[in-house]
Chains A and B, each alone.
Chain A
Amino acid sequence: MKIDHKLIEKYHLGQCSPAEQLLVEEWLLDDTLDSEPLSISITKKTKLETDIWAELNSHIDQSEAPIIVPPKKYSFKYIGIAASIVFLLCVGFYQFSKDAEKAAAIFDNRTSAGLKYINQNSYNIILGKNARAEINTDTGEFKTSGNMMFIPKKNFAFSFSGTDKKKELKHGETYFVLKPQKNGKQVIISKSELTFLAPTIQHELKIQFNII
């Protein structure tokens, strides 16, 4: 018998046999028992770590050389105050850098046959081969050539080529912004609508954006 989340759930529901109950309680108190690690895959865990570090690194200036400070015991009170200050500074810096990101941006992948991934504060964009995008989050203008995927981190309303009406792009959804049709109308398809396209086109888009 081994500890897993099912057994712990069972424990909470009071459905454990006395032996199982004992095992859970022992596991909790005893630090020497062998048990399986949490069922999160190594790759997932590593990815999570790298993501967190990548996000942090973008806001932290690396110091030239590490300064070694001799270990010294501080009281919890001072550690608490110091942590709060660091936290506030980080939040402040993050907010500042967020506001500082320009509303108008140009992304160019015209010379590349591969994908280009761009991570902005308020959206992610994946440019397809030879694609280019001009995005202004203030005016809501979104000009493109080629195909791209757009992943909003907040709700947007953009105006695209061929129509005066603004198109809402919602946080939580992924959009394919495709080449304008012969009539000049830009095609914007959400990932959940992909299933309604002809299978041949679905497959082509999945291959092109590497999402099979």
Chain B
Amino acid sequence: MLSNRFTLFLSLLLLHLVISCRTEDGGRNIDGKYSLYTMNKDLGNTIITSNTVDSGNLTISKNGIDIPTQQFDRSIIVKDKHFYFLRAGKFKKYTLESNGLKEIAQVAMQDQHIENINWLDRDTLLLFTSDNKTNRRLWIYKITVNDFKINQQQEVKLPSASADFKILSVGFGTIHQQRLLIGYTFNKVINETDFTTIDTMYIATLDKTTLQLENIQKDTRSSYPGGVNTVQSYSFHDENGNFYFMSCPGIALGNSPSKPTAIFRIDSNSTHINPTYFLNLTAETHNHAYGMWYLGNNQAIVRSERRDRYTDFSDHHSTYQFEYYVVDLISQTTTKLNLPFDKGTRKESVLVENGKAYITIDDAKDQHQVWIYNIKSKNIQVGLTLDQATDFIVRIDRLHQISN
């Protein structure tokens, strides 16, 4: 017994020494203003934080904090120096330490996965979830993140659209006109590698307090409104309170490619989709797009695929094919940015602040860089560069909230 304890003591000592040797190399910033989530060539994932993304060079081995892929993926939620992730029935809150993410709180969420999120304010997070078993039912959780408590938890019963299309996809959930609007659609699995989406976008209007369903709108101009926004952004409110969302019927989300990728608007004074507003991106670019970020002044940036460069869903992510377009939401024109082709299906690769759009690109020269687009001057330059241990930069987030 005594010798067992000694063995335990010695092994913990050894473990401790190994850990301290790793952390004493000093390069790991855990408190930078920005965080980048990378998937690396050695199959590992890391988070790198940095006080600037405007310039500099960082390496995965020296500056990256290892994130175990058995426990996390790039859909991690980043907000105000904290990270949030739902896995195996538990939604957990973490802080970043030099040897990894440290859990500081958790709530139970049995058999659920996140379809969408919305921050009502800095302390209140809405989660739109579905159950793993049916993937058909919708729940809403309202969580205050400071005390990490579930304050509301309710199933919203959405009527079936068709007996064939049994899988729910929630593309956005937003407060608009003092109502909760939820954009969603239904999918059908054909086999393990093939599926499609019903030809309709649905928007449910709910009382934002009681979550009672008031009305459901349908729109067939496209399908698959939005997408899982913990992986990529697809919607926003402009300065005047108009809500914009994109539809994503391309193979990477809806797989109903005969429908166009388009941008839709719900005007600030209405809860209904504007029936005359229809920004058809596919007509402009002859391609599908996934991902949309607001630049301000009625301009947005979209990430668009190139049909002529990939074969099918199996090489969609590894093909250097993605282009970024600036879209004028009023004149409905698009301008391609002069950037190298990017790879990686769906990425939170754009961060807009201080008149600049920071765009992370993994290009064909195996360069992994933040590109800086100056919104006013339209000038483009290279900022922070990561080394070639990187395979994909899948997220760029503001880790510290800008004080209001």
Asked whether A196 and B346 contact (CB < 8 A) given A204-B189, A207-B132, the answer is: yes
Q: Is the CB of A201 within 8 A of B2?
A: no
Residues from chain A with Cβ under 8 Å of B314 in the complex? 181, 185, 187-189
- In the complex, the answer to whether A196 meets B345 with C-beta atoms within 8 Å is yes
User: Interface with A: B5-13, B26-34, B143-151, which one?
Assistant: B5-13
A196-B189 in contact (CB<8A): no
- Chain A residues with Cβ below 8 Å from B2 are 29, 31
Q: Is B16's CB under 8 angstroms from A204's CB? A: no
Q: Is the pair A192, B69 in contact by a Cβ cutoff of 8 Å?
A: yes
Q: When each residue 226-270 of chain B gets 1 if its CB lies under 8 Å from chain A and 0 otherwise, what string results?
A: 011001000000000000000000011111000000000000000
B residues less than 8 Å from A181 (CB atoms): 193, 312, 314
Asked whether any CB of chain B lies closer than 8 Å to the CB of A200, the reply is yes
Residue in contact with B191 in the complex, picked from A12, A28, A179, A195, CB distance below 8 Å: A179
User: Is A173 in contact with chain B by the CB < 8 A criterion?
Assistant: yes
Once the chains are docked, how many angstroms separate the CA of A208 from the CA of B193? 12
Decide if A156 is an interface residue (CB 8 Å cutoff): no
Judge if A69 is at the interface, Cβ distance under 8 Å: no
Which chain B positions have C-beta within 8 A of A205? 192
Whether the pair A201, B167 counts as a contact (CB closer than 8 A) is no
CB distance from A44 to the nearest CB of B (A): 14
Does A147 sit at the interface, judged by CB under 8 A? Answer: yes
Smallest CB separation, B49 vs chain A (Å): 21
CA distance A178 to B193 in the complex (A): 8
Task: Name B12's closest neighbour in chain A (CB-CB).
Answer: A8
Known: A27-B5, A28-B6, A31-B2. Contact between A196 and B316, CB under 8 A? yes
Q: Is the CB of B43 within 8 A of A192?
A: yes
Q: A193 and B317: CB pair below 8 A?
A: yes
Q: A189-B314, A196-B316, A200-B187 are in contact. Are A212 and B43 (CB under 8 A)?
A: no
Q: Are A38's CB and B317's CB within 8 A?
A: no
Determine the chain B residues whose CB is within 8 A of the CB of A31 once the complex forms: 1-2, 5
Give B370 Cβ to nearest chain A Cβ, in Å: 21
Taking a contact as CB atoms under 8 Å apart, the answer to whether B252 and A198 are in contact is yes
Given A179-B193, A207-B132: A197 touches B313 (CB 8 Å cut-off): yes
B132 contacts A198, CB within 8 Å? Answer: no
Which residue of B has the minimal Cβ distance to A32? B1
CB < 8 Å neighbour of A8 from B16, B193, B313: B16
Q: How far is the CB of B233 from chain A (nearest CB, A)?
A: 15
Instruction: List residues of A (166-189) whose CB comes within 8 Å of B's CBs.
Output: 170, 172-173, 178-179, 181, 183, 185, 187-189
In the assembly, what is the distance between CA of A189 and CA of B43, in Å? 13
Q: Are A200 and B317 in contact (CB under 8 A)?
A: no
A45 adjacent to chain B (CB < 8 Å): no
Shortest distance between the CB of A88 and any CB in chain B (Å): 25
Q: Which of A12, A189, A190, A193 contacts B16 (CB 8 A)?
A: A12
Q: Report which residue of A31, A193, A208 has the largest number of chain B beta carbons within 10 angstroms of its beta carbon.
A: A193
Give Cα A32 to B13, complex, Å.
22
B74 within 8 A of A: yes
Minimum CB–CB distance from B100 to chain A (whole Å) comes to 15
Q: What is the number of residues of chain A that contact chain B, defined by CB distance less than 8 Å? A: 40
Say how far B17's CB is from chain A's closest CB, in angstroms.
Answer: 8
- A8 and B9 within 8 A (CB): yes
Please determine whether A195 and B8 come into contact, CB atoms closer than 8 angstroms: no
Beta-carbon contacts under 8 Å, A110-152 to B: 128, 147
Contact with A along B190-223 (1 / 0, CB 8 A): 0111010000000000000000000000000000
B39 within 8 A of A: yes
B13, A12: Cβ atoms closer than 8 Å: yes
B contact face: mostly helix, strand, loop, or mixed = loop
Tell me if B311 counts as interface (CB < 8 A to partner A).
yes
For residue A98, CB closer than 8 A to chain B, the reply is: no
- In the complex, are the beta carbons of A147 and B313 less than 8 A apart? no
* Chain A residues whose CB sits within 8 angstroms of the CB of B192 once the complex forms: 128, 147, 178-179, 201, 204-205, 208
A165 at the B interface (CB under 8 A): no
Cβ of A113 to closest chain B Cβ, rounded Å? 14
Instruction: Report the Cα distance A207→B1, complex, angstroms.
Output: 45
A139 to chain B minimum Cβ distance, whole angstroms, is 24
Among B16, B195, B317, B344, contact of A201 (Cβ-Cβ < 8 Å):
B195
Contacts of B285 in A (CB 8 A): none
Q: Is B129 positioned at the interface, with any CB of A under 8 Å from its CB?
A: no
CA distance A203 to B17 in the complex (A): 41
Q: Is the CB of B1 within 8 A of A198?
A: no
B66 at the interface (CB under 8 A from A): no
A residues within 8 A CB of B75? 195
Assess A198 versus B193: contact at CB under 8 Å? Given A192-B43, A192-B69, A207-B132: no
B151 CB to nearest A CB, Å? 27
Partner of B344, one of A179, A196, A200, A207: A196
CB distance from A141 to the nearest CB of B (A): 20
Q: Which residue of chain A has the shortest Cβ distance to B345 in the bound complex? A: A196
Instruction: Compute how far the CA of A122 lies from the CA of B196 in the bound complex, rounded to whole angstroms.
Output: 38
Give the complex CA separation of A205 and B314 in angstroms.
14
User: Among A189, A191, A199, which residue has the most Cβ atoms of chain B within 10 A?
Assistant: A199
- Confirm or deny: B174 has a beta carbon within 8 angstroms of a beta carbon on chain A: no
Q: Write out the residue numbers on chain A whose beta carbons fall within 8 Å of the beta carbon of B43.
A: 170, 172-173, 190, 192
Check A28–B9 contact: CB distance below 8 A.
yes
Asked whether any CB of chain A lies closer than 8 Å to the CB of B135, the reply is yes
* Residues in chain B near residue A207, CB distance under 8 A: 132
| Top 9 closest pairs, chain A to chain B, by CB | A196-B317, A196-B345, A187-B314, A200-B187, A200-B195, A212-B132, A8-B12, A9-B16, A31-B1
